[in-house]
Amino acid sequence: MSSALTDLCRYPIVQAPMAGGASCPQLAAAVSEAGGLGFLAAGYKTADGMYQEIQRVRGLTARPFGVNLFMPQPGQADPAAVELYRQQLAGESAWYETPLGDPEAGREDGYDAKLAVLLDDPVPVVSFTFGCPAPDTVAALAGAGTRTVVTVTCPDEARAAESAGADAVCVQGVEAGGHRGTHRDDPETERFGTGLLTLIAQVREAVRLPVLAAGGLMRGGQIAAVLAAGAEAAQLGTAFLVCPESGADPLHKQAVTDPLFTHTELTRAFSGRPARSLVNRFVREHGPYAPAAYPEVHHLTGGLRRAAARVKDPQGMALWAGQGHRLARELPAGRLVEVLHCELRSALAAPALRGVS
């Protein structure tokens, strides 16, 4: 592993920050304790809520961990399209007996307040999603002793991260579960995401930054493959989502391996931004009509998603999952790290991969 990451974890295994509750302190701490790098997801939390979770992780482990921030989003949604989608969701509101949310509830996600906390009380790593931080922000974090990682989905985004001074990039292939971490939400290109192995090669030729690889990774052999392709480490989300330490809703965990949910697809149905979800009723009925409007649609559907969870209806929930979801194993997080590492060692011992590290 590179100098940007080598002293942060024993194994090249990073637990992805999954906003919405899955990446809780118990999960992050368990992964870090086992030799991986755990992450908290600050998205959708208040600055104080993020700080409290950081303190809880520190109470559970002395090992390094990271925090992920969502970048503020530009106001580019078409109000008429959002209103039309609101009307389409009226039946859902009646069915779940809950009002639709306010699409204008905010697009900053408390970014400045969270940065202030992280500069005042630094953590080892901060990663960014939905954009690239300004160079002075990266420099301030570096001055506080924090390494920075920017999620990228194409070479141009990687170049922006390098220009900003980031320490590494998280290369997110189209196979990844949850939101696409694109810096710009462009409906014209949303169907043309690049697979992980190809994207690693493209980014490696575009920049000299260390690469974390993310997207559909569920087995140690796959980690070996991305290391052979030039990544420094692998970031796994869905693999850890079903662990007992994960804060994901039990219905979400069950759905990941439930034969009823046969596949995933990218959808705007729940948030207005492309995100990979298990295909359920809500995705089928509303995905084709959801506008490019994040976070307006996220705010609009928040109450519906919570209501569906309360009545134990997975057909109305956002069931984020990567393409490898059927390979999920319900193991304790620390044990999963150990199993992945053993699989990785076995794969690296194969003649074709000897010498990869």
Q: Helix 135-143 crosses helix 111-120 at what angle (to 10 degrees)?
A: 30
- What are 330's two structure tokens? 């319900």
Are 45 and 25 in contact, with CB atoms under 8 Å apart?
A: no
pLDDT at 61: 98
Distances (CA, A) of 209 to 155, 174, 193: 12, 20, 21
Residue labelled with tokens 């393409």? 323
pTM for this model (two decimals): 0.95
Q: What is the DSSP code string of 167-230?
A: SEEEEE-TT-SEE---SS--TTTTT-PPPHHHHHHHHHHH--S-EEEESS--SHHHHHHHHHTT
- CA 278 centroid distance within chain: 15
- Sequence-distant contacts of 269-273: CB under 8 A, at least 24 apart: 269/297, 269/301, 270/297, 270/298, 270/301, 270/305, 270/318, 271/179, 271/295, 271/297, 271/298, 271/301, 271/318, 272/77, 272/82, 272/296, 272/297, 272/298, 273/130, 273/179, 273/180, 273/185, 273/297, 273/298
The tens place of each residue's pLDDT in the chain, 357 residues long, gives 556 676 899 999 999 999 999 999 999 999 999 999 999 999 999 999 999 999 999 999 999 999 999 999 987 899 999 999 999 999 999 999 999 999 999 889 999 999 999 999 999 999 999 999 999 999 999 999 999 999 999 999 999 999 999 999 999 999 999 999 999 998 887 778 899 999 999 999 999 999 999 999 999 999 999 999 999 999 999 999 999 999 999 999 999 999 999 999 999 999 999 999 999 999 999 999 999 999 999 999 999 999 999 999 999 999 999 999 999 999 999 999 999 999 999 999 877 655 555
Nearest of 265, 272, 269 to residue 292 by alpha carbon: 272
Q: Which of 53, 96, 90, 70 is nearest to 306 (CA)?
A: 96
In this prediction, residue 46 carries a pLDDT of 97
**Token duo for residue 224:** 């070996």
**Cα–Cα dist 169/174, whole Å:** 16
Assign 38 to helix, strand or coil: strand
Cα 110 off chain centre by: 18
Classify 260 as helix, strand or coil: coil
Number of Cβ within a 10 Å radius of residue 62: 9
pLDDT computed for residue 74 by the predictor: 87
What are the φ and ψ backbone dihedral angles of 236, each rounded to 5 degrees?
-120, 130
- CA dist., res. 300 & res. 205, Å (int): 41
